[in-house]
Structure 1
């Protein structure tokens, strides 16, 4: 769990750095536009486009990774719950009945 957390923090820091670099490049592009130096504008524009592309790819990869981790975690929890219910059927029935009674009491109070 600690490994996932440090991985998430590292990814967050990388994303912040990417966004910082992208915003700096865009600021440079805006400043260069004021000079109206055609070669300078073209170079900065290409750098901005490349950084935007790189940042987009990283965001997509991070989103896919987070989705996969969440899916795996939920699958593990479902498997553990299923295993528990199969190993302890009467306990599971008792828990379900208790939850049903509590919900019924809460609904009945309204």
Structure 2
């Protein structure tokens, strides 16, 4: 399992804080509806909607950033593999042949 980076920990903590903040606002809204104070409900509803939109935008931005980072990481790994194969063609052929033999043996055992 990959180790967590400080940036990942900070992102996780920010996500927890966002969700706790949103939960608190929604709990206030639920509590206010028991009051049946129309102006109070309207204000809390607007506050909850605003926090929900803010949280949604933050989560979307984080998701896009994580997707971009993962895509870049995979691209770098593919480039490294491609360079290795071009730099060591016979080693790559040997590895491919060995993997083929192992797969053949495993399939043949059935």
Scaled by the length of structure 2, what TM-score is found?
A: 0.94
Cα offset for 1:6? 1.1
Task: State the partner residue of 1:108.
Answer: 108
In the alignment, what sits opposite 2:83? 83
Structure 1 stretches lacking a partner, 5+ long:
none
- Match in the other structure for 2:29: 29
CA distance in 1, matches of 2:50, 2:99: 55
1:34 positional shift = 1.0
**How far apart are 1:92 and its partner, in Å?**
0.4
Say what the alpha-carbon RMSD is for the aligned residues.
1.4
Corresponding residue for 1:99? 99
Q: CA deviation at 1:36?
A: 1.1
**Corresponding residue for 1:44?**
44
Query: 1:7-51: per-residue Cα shift (whole Å, max 9, x none)?
Result: 111111111111111111111111111111111111111110011
Aligned residues between the structures: 109
Partners of 1:10 and 1:40 lie apart in 2 by: 35
Between the two structures, name the one with larger relative contact order (CA 8 Å, sep ≥ 6). 1
State TM-score, norm by structure 1.
Answer: 0.94
Deviation at 1:77?
0.4
**Which consecutive unaligned segments of at least 5 residues does structure 2 have?**
none
Runs of 4+ in 1 over 2 A off after TM superposition: none
